[in-house]
Amino acid sequence: MTRTEEILKWYGHLSPGVRGNIHKLLETGKLAGTGKLVILPVDQGFEHGPARSFAPNPSAYDPLYHVELAIEAGLNAYAAPLGFIQMAADEYPGQIPLILKVNNNNSLYKSKNPSSALTSDIQDALELGCAAIGFTIYPGTSFTNEMFLQLRDFIREAHNYGLAAVVWSYPRGENLGSKDETALDVVAYAAHIAAQMGADLIKVKPPTSHIALDAAKPYYENVPKDTLAERIAHVVQSAFDGKRITIFSGGPAKETADILDEIKEIHKGGGFGSIIGRNTFQRKRDEAIELLTNIMEIYSQ
């Protein structure tokens, strides 16, 4: 049994169409067949504004720059909001699996309780030939229940039409400080919530050793958490004992050596891969491809 076949057995409740699209994600690019994924997400322009996202590398203002980077680097998939996916699908139909980010936030209005707007739908994903939809939830905000209902309906509809569902699970809210958002117990909780909601792939942030919730602290006394690899292993364990594909964000801009050290720890901890955006597209193309190649070499070992 191949690694892809082993993973697909965890998704036996899904239709052949959905499993076929998960198979497509796992069998595309340089990591095909390894059970690992590296995905390029480019929703930062919507989330943070164009200059904050693309000014470090002006070529990135062009939507086609990103899909071309993903294809040339040999990634598993490319994820973005509607406008960028429309451009990618028009110029490069079928050349790389596409993930339509169907809800997005923006930074023009700041709130401790963010809520993403629905910016596209399942019909858009179908017309554009996408393999999956992407949906962000913010567990812990005052809008949590509303987002859960939206996610439930989007996953159900996506699965009805044979699309996979990728869930960005990012804890936020007035009861969580910035340090708490990446706390080990909170990130693990976020991964588990996404799995319980029916996510096929889960995206969370790499966790710190901080434990945020007082009620959880006694239970973490004997959970290994000194190294990032140990913390990654706990987050993966929290997603149905590793039976849901859990990948980790690239986070804020950092030096190449720091990125690769983090990737090594994610791999060592059993993470399924990375969904890494600004740390690649804010670099010049040759530098970005070299970095992505090095990342995929680590995951292929």
The answer to whether 203 is a known catalytic residue is: yes
- Nearest CA to 77 out of 102, 93, 100, 98 is that of 98
Report the C-alpha gap between 68 and 58 in whole angstroms.
15
Angle in degrees, 0-180, between the axes of helices 256-268 and 285-300, rounded to the nearest 10: 20
Query: For tokens 């191949």, what's the residue?
Result: 2
Q: Residue 32 in contact with residue 21, Cβ under 8 Å? A: no
Tell me which H or E stretch contains 132: strand 132-137
Three-state DSSP at 10 gives: coil
Q: Residue 236 in contact with residue 35, Cβ under 8 Å? A: no
- Nearest CA to 89 out of 123, 129, 46 is that of 129
Name every residue whose Cβ is closer than 8 Å to that of residue 253 and which is 6 or more positions away in sequence.
Answer: 56, 278, 279, 282
Report the C-alpha gap between 136 and 165 in whole angstroms.
11
The answer to whether 109 is a known catalytic residue is: no
User: Catalytic one among 65, 170, 189, 299?
Assistant: 170
Name every residue whose Cβ is closer than 8 Å to that of residue 171 and which is 6 or more positions away in sequence.
Answer: 138, 139, 140, 180, 181, 186, 187, 189, 190
What are the residues facing 132 on neighbouring strands? Answer: 99, 164
User: Catalytic one among 203, 205, 225, 299?
Assistant: 203
Distance from the Cα of residue 286 to its chain's centroid? 24
Catalytic machinery residues: 170, 203
